[in-house]
């Protein structure tokens, strides 16, 4: 019925051909819609000609009806923004950590959940890491004494010479 064929590299019609860039999925999807809707080709035949299934044709059609040609572009799945760690939630986590630096992430998450901000322990841990609020191990090194003999070599030499001078 229709004299339009779609391959990986081009769309060929009765009056010429239109080259497709490699990996241009939006153009293939648009050609699928044109082939099935405008030229009257059966949906299954059109989908197979473009390398899609019948079910995928209807998904492409719904995407096109919702968002036009922009919706046919290939995108990463999932959300595009962070919905849990909003700036307000991050600010509140930082406030809790600064006010009580000894509280573990689990306790901070519990306090925030009690306030009505639904965050998980992992969200608190990520925010703490993002702002560098991890607890530092503040151990003070032990003082070295001459009696323990733990002076570095230079200090040992200077200690001996000092001791020799005092004896004289």
pLDDT of residue 122: 94
Q: What is the mean pLDDT of residues 18-27?
A: 83
Of the options 1.10.3470, 1.10.10, 3.30.70, 1.20.120, the CATH number for the domain spanning 5-72: 1.10.10
Please name the residue ranges forming H helices in the chain: 25-33, 43-50, 54-67, 87-99, 105-114, 121-130, 153-167
Q: What is the phi/psi pair of residue 13, to 5°? A: -125, -175
Average pLDDT along the chain: 79
pLDDT digits (tens, 9 = 90+) for 80-121: 777 788 999 999 999 999 999 889 999 999 999 999 988 999
pLDDT of residue 50: 81
Task: Specify the pTM.
Answer: 0.45
Q: Which helix (H) or strand (E) holds 136?
A: none
Q: Is the pLDDT of residue 49 over 70?
A: yes
Q: How confident is the model at residue 138 (pLDDT cuts 50, 70, 90)?
A: very low
The more confidently predicted of residues 53 and 76 is 53
Contact, 92 vs 116, CB < 8 A? no
Q: Using alpha carbons only, what angle is made at residue 138 by residues 131 and 128, rounded to the nearest 5 degrees?
A: 15
Q: What is the mean pLDDT of residues 38-62?
A: 86
Q: Is the pLDDT of residue 154 over 70?
A: no
């Amino acid at each position: 019925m229709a004299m339009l064929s779609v391959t990986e590299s081009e769309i060929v019609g009765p009056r010429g051909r239109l080259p497709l860039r490699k990996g241009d999925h939006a153009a293939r999807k648009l050609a699928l819609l044109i082939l099935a809707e405008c030229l009257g080709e059966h949906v299954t035949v059109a989908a197979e000609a473009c390398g899609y299934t019948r079910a995928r044709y209807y998904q492409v059609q719904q995407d096109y009806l919702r968002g036009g040609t922009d919706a046919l572009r290939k995108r990463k799945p999932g959300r595009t923004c962070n919905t849990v760690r909003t700036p307000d939630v991050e600010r509140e986590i930082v406030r809790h950590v600064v006010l009580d630096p000894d509280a573990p992430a689990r306790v901070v998450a519990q306090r925030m959940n009690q306030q009505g901000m639904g965050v998980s322990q992992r969200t608190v841990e990520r925010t703490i890491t993002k702002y560098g609020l991890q607890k530092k191990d503040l151990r003070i090194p032990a003082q070295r004494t001459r009696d323990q003999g733990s002076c570095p070599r230079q200090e040992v030499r200077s200690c001996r010479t000092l001791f020799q001078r005092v004896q004289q």
